[in-house]
Structure 1
Amino acid sequence: MSPGATLADPAVLLDHVCATVRVRSVQRADLVGVSFVTGSYVAGHWDRRRPSLNVYFIATAHRADDLRLELSRWWRDLAGQLAAAGWELLIDCHPYTVSQRSAAAPGGRLLTITTKVLESEHRAIRYRLPPTIGPGWCGGLRVLHGDPAEVMILAEHPRRTAEWARTMHRALSHYRNVLDHLPWALPWRERPQLLVEESSRYAEEAFKDSLSFRLTAAELADGEHMRLLSDWAVRAREFIAARLGADGLRAADTVARLKAARDEDPSIEEAQGCWRDGKEVWEWAWGQYLVLADELLPGQPDFHRVDAFV
Protein backbone atom coordinates (compact mmCIF):
# COMPACT_ATOMS: atom_id res chain seq x y z
CA MET A 1 0.00 0.00 0.00
CA SER A 2 1.30 3.43 -0.92
CA PRO A 3 2.03 5.99 1.85
CA GLY A 4 -0.87 8.13 0.65
CA ALA A 5 -3.34 5.27 0.80
CA THR A 6 -2.14 4.33 4.28
CA LEU A 7 -2.44 7.84 5.67
CA ALA A 8 -5.93 8.18 4.26
CA ASP A 9 -7.06 6.18 7.31
CA PRO A 10 -7.44 8.71 10.17
CA ALA A 11 -6.25 6.21 12.80
CA VAL A 12 -3.10 5.47 10.82
CA LEU A 13 -2.66 9.19 10.27
CA LEU A 14 -2.67 10.07 13.99
CA ASP A 15 -0.38 7.18 14.83
CA HIS A 16 1.98 8.38 12.11
CA VAL A 17 2.05 11.92 13.49
CA CYS A 18 2.83 10.62 16.98
CA ALA A 19 5.60 8.40 15.64
CA THR A 20 7.06 11.32 13.69
CA VAL A 21 7.06 13.56 16.77
CA ARG A 22 8.65 10.79 18.85
CA VAL A 23 11.48 10.27 16.37
CA ARG A 24 12.16 13.97 15.97
CA SER A 25 12.05 14.52 19.73
CA VAL A 26 14.76 11.91 20.19
CA GLN A 27 16.78 13.39 17.37
CA ARG A 28 16.53 16.84 18.94
CA ALA A 29 16.85 15.86 22.59
CA ASP A 30 19.00 18.96 22.97
CA LEU A 31 15.77 20.93 22.56
CA VAL A 32 13.01 18.54 23.66
CA GLY A 33 12.94 17.43 27.28
CA VAL A 34 9.46 15.90 27.06
CA SER A 35 6.92 15.49 24.28
CA PHE A 36 3.45 14.15 24.95
CA VAL A 37 -0.06 13.86 23.53
CA THR A 38 -3.35 14.24 25.39
CA GLY A 39 -7.05 14.53 24.75
CA SER A 40 -9.63 12.53 22.85
CA TYR A 41 -7.05 10.60 20.81
CA VAL A 42 -5.48 9.17 23.94
CA ALA A 43 -8.91 8.57 25.52
CA GLY A 44 -10.05 6.70 22.41
CA HIS A 45 -13.16 8.73 21.59
CA TRP A 46 -11.88 11.04 18.85
CA ASP A 47 -13.88 12.05 15.79
CA ARG A 48 -12.76 10.18 12.66
CA ARG A 49 -14.42 12.81 10.46
CA ARG A 50 -12.43 15.65 12.05
CA PRO A 51 -9.35 14.10 13.68
CA SER A 52 -7.36 16.26 16.04
CA LEU A 53 -4.28 15.82 18.17
CA ASN A 54 -2.99 17.74 21.21
CA VAL A 55 0.82 17.63 21.07
CA TYR A 56 2.80 19.46 23.74
CA PHE A 57 6.46 19.91 24.54
CA ILE A 58 8.60 20.78 27.53
CA ALA A 59 11.78 22.35 26.21
CA THR A 60 15.17 21.80 27.76
CA ALA A 61 16.31 24.68 29.93
CA HIS A 62 16.50 28.02 28.10
CA ARG A 63 15.89 26.40 24.68
CA ALA A 64 12.14 27.03 24.33
CA ASP A 65 12.44 29.64 21.59
CA ASP A 66 14.84 27.44 19.65
CA LEU A 67 12.28 24.64 19.87
CA ARG A 68 9.43 26.89 18.77
CA LEU A 69 11.37 27.82 15.65
CA GLU A 70 12.30 24.20 15.03
CA LEU A 71 8.66 23.15 15.32
CA SER A 72 7.71 25.55 12.54
CA ARG A 73 9.90 23.39 10.29
CA TRP A 74 8.44 20.14 11.62
CA TRP A 75 4.89 21.26 10.96
CA ARG A 76 5.76 22.63 7.52
CA ASP A 77 7.33 19.29 6.56
CA LEU A 78 4.36 17.39 7.95
CA ALA A 79 1.87 19.61 6.10
CA GLY A 80 3.57 18.82 2.80
CA GLN A 81 3.58 15.11 3.50
CA LEU A 82 -0.07 15.03 4.54
CA ALA A 83 -1.22 17.14 1.59
CA ALA A 84 -0.01 14.36 -0.67
CA ALA A 85 -2.30 12.00 1.25
CA GLY A 86 -5.33 14.28 0.92
CA TRP A 87 -5.18 16.10 4.27
CA GLU A 88 -5.10 19.78 5.14
CA LEU A 89 -3.03 20.40 8.29
CA LEU A 90 -4.20 23.12 10.69
CA ILE A 91 -1.90 24.15 13.53
CA ASP A 92 -4.49 25.43 16.00
CA CYS A 93 -3.24 28.60 17.69
CA HIS A 94 -6.30 29.27 19.85
CA PRO A 95 -6.82 30.84 22.28
CA TYR A 96 -3.80 33.00 21.49
CA THR A 97 -4.55 34.05 17.95
CA VAL A 98 -6.43 33.00 14.85
CA SER A 99 -4.76 30.15 13.02
CA GLN A 100 -3.23 30.75 9.61
CA ARG A 101 -5.61 29.54 6.89
CA SER A 102 -5.63 29.78 3.12
CA ALA A 103 -8.46 31.39 1.19
CA ALA A 104 -8.10 28.70 -1.44
CA ALA A 105 -10.51 25.80 -1.39
CA PRO A 106 -9.19 23.03 0.86
CA GLY A 107 -7.40 20.17 -0.84
CA GLY A 108 -8.73 17.49 1.46
CA ARG A 109 -9.89 16.57 4.90
CA LEU A 110 -8.79 18.56 7.95
CA LEU A 111 -6.33 17.40 10.62
CA THR A 112 -6.00 19.81 13.55
CA ILE A 113 -2.95 19.86 15.81
CA THR A 114 -2.97 21.93 18.99
CA THR A 115 0.52 22.50 20.33
CA LYS A 116 2.49 24.54 22.83
CA VAL A 117 6.04 24.67 24.18
CA LEU A 118 6.51 24.86 27.96
CA GLU A 119 9.70 26.11 29.58
CA SER A 120 11.44 23.68 31.93
CA GLU A 121 13.23 26.46 33.81
CA HIS A 122 9.81 27.40 35.22
CA ARG A 123 8.93 23.94 36.48
CA ALA A 124 8.67 25.16 40.09
CA ILE A 125 5.73 27.41 39.17
CA ARG A 126 3.86 24.92 36.95
CA TYR A 127 5.69 26.10 33.83
CA ARG A 128 3.93 29.46 34.35
CA LEU A 129 0.54 27.93 33.51
CA PRO A 130 -2.69 28.97 35.24
CA PRO A 131 -4.33 26.50 37.64
CA THR A 132 -6.94 25.46 35.07
CA ILE A 133 -4.34 24.10 32.63
CA GLY A 134 -2.79 20.70 33.19
CA PRO A 135 -5.23 18.48 35.14
CA GLY A 136 -7.04 17.51 31.95
CA TRP A 137 -3.76 16.64 30.27
CA CYS A 138 -2.74 14.41 33.14
CA GLY A 139 -6.07 12.61 33.07
CA GLY A 140 -5.31 11.23 29.61
CA LEU A 141 -1.61 11.29 28.84
CA ARG A 142 0.72 9.48 26.45
CA VAL A 143 4.36 10.47 26.74
CA LEU A 144 6.27 10.18 23.46
CA HIS A 145 9.67 11.18 24.81
CA GLY A 146 11.02 12.00 28.26
CA ASP A 147 9.89 11.56 31.86
CA PRO A 148 6.11 11.53 32.57
CA ALA A 149 6.78 12.93 36.04
CA GLU A 150 7.65 16.28 34.44
CA VAL A 151 4.07 16.51 33.20
CA MET A 152 2.34 15.03 36.24
CA ILE A 153 3.29 17.99 38.40
CA LEU A 154 0.29 19.64 36.69
CA ALA A 155 -2.22 17.04 37.88
CA GLU A 156 -3.76 18.89 40.81
CA HIS A 157 -7.20 20.31 40.06
CA PRO A 158 -7.86 24.02 40.62
CA ARG A 159 -9.45 25.38 43.78
CA ARG A 160 -12.48 27.65 43.88
CA THR A 161 -10.48 30.75 44.73
CA ALA A 162 -10.08 34.33 43.56
CA GLU A 163 -7.03 33.28 41.54
CA TRP A 164 -9.12 30.71 39.68
CA ALA A 165 -11.87 33.27 39.04
CA ARG A 166 -9.33 35.75 37.65
CA THR A 167 -8.04 33.02 35.33
CA MET A 168 -11.55 32.45 34.01
CA HIS A 169 -11.94 36.20 33.46
CA ARG A 170 -8.80 36.28 31.35
CA ALA A 171 -9.99 33.30 29.30
CA LEU A 172 -13.44 34.71 28.58
CA SER A 173 -12.03 38.14 27.79
CA HIS A 174 -9.65 36.61 25.31
CA TYR A 175 -12.37 34.53 23.64
CA ARG A 176 -14.51 37.65 23.26
CA ASN A 177 -11.71 39.70 21.74
CA VAL A 178 -10.97 36.99 19.19
CA LEU A 179 -14.66 36.55 18.33
CA ASP A 180 -15.03 40.30 17.83
CA HIS A 181 -12.18 40.38 15.34
CA LEU A 182 -12.86 37.18 13.38
CA PRO A 183 -14.67 38.97 10.53
CA TRP A 184 -11.50 40.97 9.85
CA ALA A 185 -8.95 38.24 10.50
CA LEU A 186 -10.05 35.47 8.14
CA PRO A 187 -10.60 35.21 4.36
CA TRP A 188 -14.10 33.94 5.11
CA ARG A 189 -15.95 35.61 2.26
CA GLU A 190 -13.87 33.46 -0.09
CA ARG A 191 -14.17 30.45 2.22
CA PRO A 192 -17.14 30.86 4.62
CA GLN A 193 -16.41 27.63 6.44
CA LEU A 194 -13.44 29.32 8.13
CA LEU A 195 -15.70 31.74 9.99
CA VAL A 196 -17.96 28.86 11.03
CA GLU A 197 -15.03 26.83 12.35
CA GLU A 198 -13.51 29.62 14.42
CA SER A 199 -16.87 30.84 15.73
CA SER A 200 -17.68 27.29 16.80
CA ARG A 201 -14.30 26.90 18.47
CA TYR A 202 -14.58 29.94 20.70
CA ALA A 203 -18.25 29.43 21.51
CA GLU A 204 -17.45 25.91 22.67
CA GLU A 205 -14.51 27.09 24.77
CA ALA A 206 -16.64 29.71 26.52
CA PHE A 207 -19.46 27.26 27.12
CA LYS A 208 -17.25 24.51 28.52
CA ASP A 209 -15.51 26.93 30.86
CA SER A 210 -18.86 28.14 32.15
CA LEU A 211 -19.82 24.69 33.43
CA SER A 212 -17.16 24.94 36.11
CA PHE A 213 -18.74 28.12 37.50
CA ARG A 214 -21.64 26.10 38.91
CA LEU A 215 -19.50 23.48 40.63
CA THR A 216 -19.07 23.47 44.37
CA ALA A 217 -15.58 23.93 45.79
CA ALA A 218 -15.42 20.20 46.59
CA GLU A 219 -16.57 19.21 43.09
CA LEU A 220 -14.05 21.48 41.38
CA ALA A 221 -11.14 20.23 43.53
CA ASP A 222 -12.21 16.64 42.87
CA GLY A 223 -12.04 17.05 39.09
CA GLU A 224 -15.76 16.99 38.32
CA HIS A 225 -15.27 19.50 35.50
CA MET A 226 -13.03 17.05 33.67
CA ARG A 227 -15.57 14.27 34.14
CA LEU A 228 -18.31 16.45 32.69
CA LEU A 229 -16.23 17.20 29.61
CA SER A 230 -15.37 13.54 29.09
CA ASP A 231 -19.05 12.46 29.24
CA TRP A 232 -20.69 15.22 27.27
CA ALA A 233 -23.71 13.28 26.03
CA VAL A 234 -25.04 12.09 29.40
CA ARG A 235 -23.32 13.44 32.52
CA ALA A 236 -22.80 16.97 31.21
CA ARG A 237 -26.31 17.16 29.75
CA GLU A 238 -27.85 16.19 33.10
CA PHE A 239 -25.64 18.72 34.89
CA ILE A 240 -26.63 21.51 32.50
CA ALA A 241 -30.33 20.77 32.92
CA ALA A 242 -30.06 20.65 36.72
CA ARG A 243 -27.87 23.68 37.36
CA LEU A 244 -28.07 25.91 34.28
CA GLY A 245 -31.67 25.31 33.27
CA ALA A 246 -33.39 25.95 29.96
CA ASP A 247 -31.04 28.79 28.96
CA GLY A 248 -28.05 26.52 29.54
CA LEU A 249 -29.59 23.76 27.44
CA ARG A 250 -30.27 26.26 24.63
CA ALA A 251 -26.64 27.40 24.73
CA ALA A 252 -25.48 23.76 24.64
CA ASP A 253 -27.73 23.08 21.65
CA THR A 254 -26.34 26.15 19.87
CA VAL A 255 -22.79 24.89 20.39
CA ALA A 256 -23.79 21.47 19.05
CA ARG A 257 -25.38 23.11 16.00
CA LEU A 258 -22.26 25.20 15.36
CA LYS A 259 -20.03 22.13 15.57
CA ALA A 260 -22.25 20.27 13.12
CA ALA A 261 -22.13 23.22 10.72
CA ARG A 262 -18.36 22.84 10.41
CA ASP A 263 -18.93 19.80 8.17
CA GLU A 264 -21.30 21.64 5.85
CA ASP A 265 -20.65 23.99 2.95
CA PRO A 266 -22.10 27.24 4.31
CA SER A 267 -22.97 30.34 2.38
CA ILE A 268 -21.64 33.73 3.41
CA GLU A 269 -24.99 34.51 5.06
CA GLU A 270 -24.98 31.21 6.97
CA ALA A 271 -21.42 31.82 8.15
CA GLN A 272 -22.43 35.26 9.42
CA GLY A 273 -25.28 33.65 11.30
CA CYS A 274 -22.93 31.16 12.93
CA TRP A 275 -20.65 33.97 14.04
CA ARG A 276 -23.59 35.80 15.60
CA ASP A 277 -24.67 32.59 17.33
CA GLY A 278 -21.16 32.15 18.71
CA LYS A 279 -21.30 35.68 20.12
CA GLU A 280 -24.62 34.88 21.80
CA VAL A 281 -23.16 31.78 23.47
CA TRP A 282 -20.30 33.91 24.75
CA GLU A 283 -22.76 36.46 26.18
CA TRP A 284 -24.57 33.67 28.02
CA ALA A 285 -21.25 32.36 29.42
CA TRP A 286 -20.26 35.87 30.51
CA GLY A 287 -23.49 36.14 32.46
CA GLN A 288 -22.60 32.94 34.30
CA TYR A 289 -19.14 34.31 35.04
CA LEU A 290 -20.50 37.55 36.53
CA VAL A 291 -22.31 35.55 39.19
CA LEU A 292 -18.98 33.96 40.08
CA ALA A 293 -17.22 37.34 40.08
CA ASP A 294 -19.78 38.78 42.47
CA GLU A 295 -18.99 35.93 44.85
CA LEU A 296 -15.20 35.62 44.59
CA LEU A 297 -14.12 39.05 43.31
CA PRO A 298 -16.46 41.55 44.99
CA GLY A 299 -15.60 45.21 44.70
CA GLN A 300 -13.08 44.59 41.90
CA PRO A 301 -14.46 46.34 38.80
CA ASP A 302 -11.55 45.24 36.63
CA PHE A 303 -12.91 41.71 36.83
CA HIS A 304 -16.51 42.68 36.14
CA ARG A 305 -15.79 44.03 32.67
CA VAL A 306 -14.30 42.52 29.55
CA ASP A 307 -10.68 43.42 28.87
CA ALA A 308 -10.84 44.94 25.39
CA PHE A 309 -7.51 46.23 24.13
CA VAL A 310 -7.79 48.75 21.30
Structure 2
Amino acid sequence: MSVLFARRCFAAASCLAAALTLAPANAAESPSYAAYSQGRYLTALDLAEKEASEGSKEAFTLIGEIYSEGLGVSQDLEKAADAYAKAADLGDANAQFSLGALVAEGTGVKKDLRIAADLFERAAQSGHSSAQYNLALIYLNGRGRPSDEAKAAEWMQKAAEQGLAVAQYDLGAFYQFGRGVPIDKVKAAEWTGKAAEAGLPAAQVEYGVMLFKGAGVAADEKAAFEMFSLAAEQGNAVGQNRLARLYANGVAVKEDPVQAAKWHLLARAAGVSDFSLDVLLAKLSKQQREAAEKAAEEWHNDRLSE
Protein backbone atom coordinates (compact mmCIF):
# COMPACT_ATOMS: atom_id res chain seq x y z
CA MET A 1 0.00 0.00 0.00
CA SER A 2 1.47 3.32 -1.05
CA VAL A 3 1.27 6.58 0.80
CA LEU A 4 -0.96 9.48 -0.11
CA PHE A 5 1.55 11.67 -1.90
CA ALA A 6 2.86 8.76 -3.96
CA ARG A 7 -0.63 7.95 -5.15
CA ARG A 8 -1.49 11.29 -6.69
CA CYS A 9 0.55 14.27 -7.91
CA PHE A 10 -1.12 16.76 -5.58
CA ALA A 11 1.57 19.42 -5.88
CA ALA A 12 1.59 19.86 -9.65
CA ALA A 13 -0.66 22.48 -11.20
CA SER A 14 -1.21 20.14 -14.13
CA CYS A 15 -2.90 17.72 -11.75
CA LEU A 16 -5.75 20.17 -11.19
CA ALA A 17 -9.05 18.93 -12.53
CA ALA A 18 -9.68 20.69 -15.82
CA ALA A 19 -13.02 19.52 -17.20
CA LEU A 20 -15.62 22.13 -18.07
CA THR A 21 -19.24 21.12 -17.76
CA LEU A 22 -21.08 23.15 -20.38
CA ALA A 23 -24.62 22.81 -19.10
CA PRO A 24 -26.27 26.10 -18.10
CA ALA A 25 -29.77 25.89 -16.71
CA ASN A 26 -31.16 27.60 -19.80
CA ALA A 27 -29.09 25.59 -22.31
CA ALA A 28 -32.23 24.29 -24.02
CA GLU A 29 -33.24 27.88 -24.76
CA SER A 30 -29.81 28.99 -25.98
CA PRO A 31 -29.22 28.90 -29.77
CA SER A 32 -25.46 29.08 -29.23
CA TYR A 33 -25.37 26.02 -26.98
CA ALA A 34 -27.68 24.15 -29.34
CA ALA A 35 -25.26 24.81 -32.21
CA TYR A 36 -22.32 23.85 -30.00
CA SER A 37 -23.92 20.51 -29.05
CA GLN A 38 -24.37 19.78 -32.77
CA GLY A 39 -20.70 20.46 -33.52
CA ARG A 40 -21.44 23.68 -35.45
CA TYR A 41 -18.72 25.62 -33.67
CA LEU A 42 -18.41 28.69 -35.89
CA THR A 43 -22.17 29.16 -35.80
CA ALA A 44 -22.08 28.66 -32.03
CA LEU A 45 -19.36 31.30 -31.75
CA ASP A 46 -21.31 33.84 -33.81
CA LEU A 47 -24.47 33.23 -31.79
CA ALA A 48 -22.58 33.31 -28.49
CA GLU A 49 -21.01 36.67 -29.33
CA LYS A 50 -24.49 38.08 -29.98
CA GLU A 51 -25.84 36.60 -26.75
CA ALA A 52 -22.81 37.86 -24.82
CA SER A 53 -23.42 41.39 -26.10
CA GLU A 54 -26.84 41.10 -24.51
CA GLY A 55 -25.29 40.18 -21.15
CA SER A 56 -25.39 36.37 -21.14
CA LYS A 57 -22.71 35.02 -18.80
CA GLU A 58 -23.13 31.52 -20.23
CA ALA A 59 -22.40 32.86 -23.70
CA PHE A 60 -19.09 34.34 -22.54
CA THR A 61 -18.25 30.94 -21.04
CA LEU A 62 -19.03 29.22 -24.33
CA ILE A 63 -16.79 31.68 -26.20
CA GLY A 64 -14.03 30.86 -23.75
CA GLU A 65 -14.50 27.15 -24.29
CA ILE A 66 -14.40 27.45 -28.08
CA TYR A 67 -11.15 29.44 -28.03
CA SER A 68 -9.64 27.32 -25.27
CA GLU A 69 -10.16 24.09 -27.21
CA GLY A 70 -9.67 25.55 -30.68
CA LEU A 71 -13.07 24.37 -31.89
CA GLY A 72 -13.57 25.66 -35.43
CA VAL A 73 -11.02 28.40 -34.76
CA SER A 74 -7.33 28.56 -33.94
CA GLN A 75 -6.70 27.93 -30.26
CA ASP A 76 -6.26 31.26 -28.50
CA LEU A 77 -5.86 31.01 -24.74
CA GLU A 78 -5.66 34.76 -24.27
CA LYS A 79 -9.07 35.20 -25.91
CA ALA A 80 -10.34 32.24 -23.88
CA ALA A 81 -9.12 33.81 -20.63
CA ASP A 82 -10.67 37.16 -21.53
CA ALA A 83 -14.05 35.56 -22.22
CA TYR A 84 -13.89 33.43 -19.08
CA ALA A 85 -13.01 36.51 -17.04
CA LYS A 86 -16.09 38.35 -18.28
CA ALA A 87 -18.31 35.39 -17.47
CA ALA A 88 -16.60 34.92 -14.08
CA ASP A 89 -17.29 38.54 -13.18
CA LEU A 90 -20.94 37.91 -13.99
CA GLY A 91 -20.95 34.96 -11.57
CA ASP A 92 -20.70 31.93 -13.86
CA ALA A 93 -19.18 29.04 -11.87
CA ASN A 94 -17.98 27.15 -14.95
CA ALA A 95 -16.07 30.23 -16.10
CA GLN A 96 -14.63 30.83 -12.63
CA PHE A 97 -13.37 27.27 -12.60
CA SER A 98 -11.96 27.35 -16.14
CA LEU A 99 -10.26 30.71 -15.62
CA GLY A 100 -8.86 29.40 -12.35
CA ALA A 101 -7.33 26.45 -14.20
CA LEU A 102 -5.69 28.78 -16.74
CA VAL A 103 -4.37 31.07 -14.00
CA ALA A 104 -3.09 28.09 -11.98
CA GLU A 105 -1.03 26.91 -14.93
CA GLY A 106 -0.17 30.33 -16.37
CA THR A 107 -1.66 29.57 -19.78
CA GLY A 108 -3.08 32.59 -21.58
CA VAL A 109 -2.66 34.66 -18.44
CA LYS A 110 -0.02 35.29 -15.78
CA LYS A 111 0.34 32.42 -13.34
CA ASP A 112 -0.91 33.28 -9.87
CA LEU A 113 -1.98 30.51 -7.51
CA ARG A 114 -3.53 32.94 -5.04
CA ILE A 115 -5.88 34.31 -7.71
CA ALA A 116 -6.54 30.79 -8.97
CA ALA A 117 -7.50 29.77 -5.44
CA ASP A 118 -9.88 32.74 -5.21
CA LEU A 119 -11.53 31.72 -8.47
CA PHE A 120 -11.82 28.08 -7.43
CA GLU A 121 -13.33 29.11 -4.12
CA ARG A 122 -15.97 31.26 -5.82
CA ALA A 123 -16.93 28.34 -8.06
CA ALA A 124 -16.72 25.88 -5.18
CA GLN A 125 -19.10 27.96 -3.09
CA SER A 126 -21.58 27.63 -5.96
CA GLY A 127 -21.30 23.84 -5.79
CA HIS A 128 -18.88 23.22 -8.67
CA SER A 129 -17.43 19.80 -7.80
CA SER A 130 -14.18 20.08 -9.76
CA ALA A 131 -13.54 23.50 -8.23
CA GLN A 132 -14.15 22.00 -4.78
CA TYR A 133 -11.64 19.28 -5.60
CA ASN A 134 -9.00 21.74 -6.81
CA LEU A 135 -9.52 23.93 -3.77
CA ALA A 136 -8.97 20.88 -1.57
CA LEU A 137 -5.65 20.23 -3.31
CA ILE A 138 -4.62 23.85 -2.88
CA TYR A 139 -5.28 23.73 0.88
CA LEU A 140 -3.52 20.39 1.09
CA ASN A 141 -0.37 21.71 -0.56
CA GLY A 142 -0.42 25.23 0.86
CA ARG A 143 -0.02 26.82 -2.56
CA GLY A 144 -2.29 29.81 -3.08
CA ARG A 145 -3.71 29.29 0.42
CA PRO A 146 -2.06 28.52 3.77
CA SER A 147 -1.74 24.77 4.26
CA ASP A 148 -4.82 23.48 6.09
CA GLU A 149 -5.53 19.76 5.98
CA ALA A 150 -8.87 20.13 7.75
CA LYS A 151 -10.14 22.54 5.08
CA ALA A 152 -8.68 20.29 2.39
CA ALA A 153 -10.67 17.37 3.78
CA GLU A 154 -13.82 19.51 4.04
CA TRP A 155 -13.71 20.52 0.38
CA MET A 156 -12.70 17.03 -0.73
CA GLN A 157 -15.74 15.67 1.10
CA LYS A 158 -18.03 18.13 -0.70
CA ALA A 159 -16.66 17.12 -4.10
CA ALA A 160 -16.81 13.42 -3.24
CA GLU A 161 -20.43 13.68 -2.11
CA GLN A 162 -21.28 15.08 -5.55
CA GLY A 163 -19.93 11.92 -7.15
CA LEU A 164 -16.56 13.16 -8.44
CA ALA A 165 -14.58 9.90 -8.62
CA VAL A 166 -11.10 11.39 -8.13
CA ALA A 167 -12.37 13.20 -5.04
CA GLN A 168 -13.90 10.00 -3.68
CA TYR A 169 -10.59 8.22 -4.23
CA ASP A 170 -8.58 10.95 -2.53
CA LEU A 171 -11.05 11.27 0.32
CA GLY A 172 -10.52 7.57 0.90
CA ALA A 173 -6.80 8.30 1.21
CA PHE A 174 -7.51 11.13 3.67
CA TYR A 175 -9.33 8.66 5.92
CA GLN A 176 -6.75 5.95 5.36
CA PHE A 177 -3.81 8.09 6.44
CA GLY A 178 -5.52 10.60 8.74
CA ARG A 179 -5.03 13.76 6.67
CA GLY A 180 -7.41 16.41 8.00
CA VAL A 181 -9.69 13.73 9.47
CA PRO A 182 -9.21 10.92 12.00
CA ILE A 183 -7.97 7.63 10.58
CA ASP A 184 -11.00 5.53 9.72
CA LYS A 185 -10.39 2.34 7.73
CA VAL A 186 -14.10 1.75 7.17
CA LYS A 187 -14.66 5.19 5.64
CA ALA A 188 -11.43 4.80 3.67
CA ALA A 189 -12.78 1.61 2.13
CA GLU A 190 -16.23 3.11 1.61
CA TRP A 191 -14.98 6.09 -0.40
CA THR A 192 -12.35 4.13 -2.27
CA GLY A 193 -15.05 1.64 -3.17
CA LYS A 194 -17.29 4.39 -4.54
CA ALA A 195 -14.46 5.60 -6.78
CA ALA A 196 -13.80 2.03 -7.89
CA GLU A 197 -17.46 1.55 -8.76
CA ALA A 198 -17.30 4.77 -10.78
CA GLY A 199 -14.59 3.15 -12.91
CA LEU A 200 -11.39 4.80 -11.68
CA PRO A 201 -8.64 2.19 -12.28
CA ALA A 202 -6.32 3.31 -9.48
CA ALA A 203 -9.23 3.12 -7.05
CA GLN A 204 -10.15 -0.34 -8.34
CA VAL A 205 -6.64 -1.54 -7.53
CA GLU A 206 -6.66 0.10 -4.10
CA TYR A 207 -10.11 -1.24 -3.28
CA GLY A 208 -9.09 -4.66 -4.55
CA VAL A 209 -6.23 -4.67 -2.05
CA MET A 210 -8.63 -3.66 0.73
CA LEU A 211 -11.01 -6.47 -0.23
CA PHE A 212 -8.20 -8.97 -0.43
CA LYS A 213 -6.84 -8.04 3.00
CA GLY A 214 -10.16 -7.27 4.66
CA ALA A 215 -9.02 -3.73 5.47
CA GLY A 216 -12.06 -1.67 6.43
CA VAL A 217 -14.32 -4.04 4.52
CA ALA A 218 -15.14 -7.74 4.75
CA ALA A 219 -12.44 -9.85 3.10
CA ASP A 220 -13.58 -11.12 -0.30
CA GLU A 221 -10.93 -12.58 -2.60
CA LYS A 222 -13.39 -13.07 -5.47
CA ALA A 223 -14.44 -9.42 -5.33
CA ALA A 224 -10.77 -8.43 -5.18
CA PHE A 225 -10.15 -10.50 -8.30
CA GLU A 226 -12.95 -8.64 -10.07
CA MET A 227 -11.51 -5.28 -9.07
CA PHE A 228 -8.02 -6.18 -10.28
CA SER A 229 -9.54 -7.49 -13.52
CA LEU A 230 -11.41 -4.25 -14.16
CA ALA A 231 -8.30 -2.18 -13.56
CA ALA A 232 -6.13 -4.49 -15.65
CA GLU A 233 -8.50 -4.35 -18.61
CA GLN A 234 -8.32 -0.55 -18.49
CA GLY A 235 -4.55 -0.72 -18.79
CA ASN A 236 -3.57 -0.13 -15.17
CA ALA A 237 -0.16 -1.80 -14.84
CA VAL A 238 -0.43 -2.35 -11.07
CA GLY A 239 -3.81 -4.00 -11.57
CA GLN A 240 -2.29 -6.18 -14.28
CA ASN A 241 0.48 -7.22 -11.90
CA ARG A 242 -1.99 -8.04 -9.11
CA LEU A 243 -4.11 -10.06 -11.51
CA ALA A 244 -1.06 -11.95 -12.75
CA ARG A 245 -0.18 -12.92 -9.19
CA LEU A 246 -3.66 -14.33 -8.58
CA TYR A 247 -3.50 -16.43 -11.74
CA ALA A 248 0.02 -17.57 -10.90
CA ASN A 249 -0.94 -18.74 -7.42
CA GLY A 250 -4.48 -19.94 -8.12
CA VAL A 251 -5.97 -17.51 -5.61
CA ALA A 252 -9.66 -16.60 -6.17
CA VAL A 253 -9.34 -18.09 -9.66
CA LYS A 254 -8.13 -21.34 -11.20
CA GLU A 255 -4.35 -21.39 -11.56
CA ASP A 256 -3.42 -20.42 -15.12
CA PRO A 257 0.25 -19.80 -15.89
CA VAL A 258 -0.49 -18.54 -19.40
CA GLN A 259 -2.91 -15.90 -18.12
CA ALA A 260 -0.45 -15.02 -15.38
CA ALA A 261 2.31 -14.59 -17.97
CA LYS A 262 0.08 -12.54 -20.25
CA TRP A 263 -0.73 -9.99 -17.56
CA HIS A 264 2.83 -10.00 -16.28
CA LEU A 265 4.17 -9.23 -19.76
CA LEU A 266 1.76 -6.31 -20.08
CA ALA A 267 2.57 -4.97 -16.61
CA ARG A 268 6.30 -5.36 -17.18
CA ALA A 269 6.10 -3.51 -20.49
CA ALA A 270 4.51 -0.63 -18.57
CA GLY A 271 7.34 -0.59 -16.04
CA VAL A 272 6.07 -2.80 -13.20
CA SER A 273 8.67 -5.43 -12.36
CA ASP A 274 8.06 -8.62 -10.38
CA PHE A 275 10.88 -11.13 -9.90
CA SER A 276 8.62 -14.01 -8.86
CA LEU A 277 6.62 -13.63 -12.07
CA ASP A 278 9.81 -13.40 -14.08
CA VAL A 279 10.70 -16.80 -12.63
CA LEU A 280 7.29 -18.17 -13.62
CA LEU A 281 7.78 -16.81 -17.13
CA ALA A 282 11.15 -18.50 -17.43
CA LYS A 283 9.66 -21.86 -16.45
CA LEU A 284 6.94 -21.85 -19.13
CA SER A 285 7.15 -24.25 -22.00
CA LYS A 286 7.77 -22.80 -25.45
CA GLN A 287 4.11 -23.29 -26.34
CA GLN A 288 2.92 -21.62 -23.14
CA ARG A 289 5.28 -18.68 -23.63
CA GLU A 290 4.08 -18.20 -27.21
CA ALA A 291 0.44 -18.38 -26.09
CA ALA A 292 1.05 -15.77 -23.40
CA GLU A 293 2.87 -13.46 -25.79
CA LYS A 294 0.09 -13.83 -28.37
CA ALA A 295 -2.58 -13.08 -25.76
CA ALA A 296 -0.69 -10.00 -24.59
CA GLU A 297 -0.25 -8.78 -28.14
CA GLU A 298 -3.93 -9.29 -28.92
CA TRP A 299 -4.94 -7.38 -25.80
CA HIS A 300 -2.60 -4.54 -26.75
CA ASN A 301 -3.93 -4.41 -30.33
CA ASP A 302 -7.51 -4.37 -29.08
CA ARG A 303 -6.66 -1.39 -26.88
CA LEU A 304 -5.13 0.47 -29.82
CA SER A 305 -8.23 -0.11 -31.93
CA GLU A 306 -10.63 1.27 -29.31
Q: Output the TM-score relative to the length of structure 2.
A: 0.28
Structure having the higher Rg: 2
Of Structure 1 and Structure 2, which has the larger fraction of its residues in helix?
A: 2
Higher strand share: 1
Normalising by structure 1, report the TM-score: 0.28
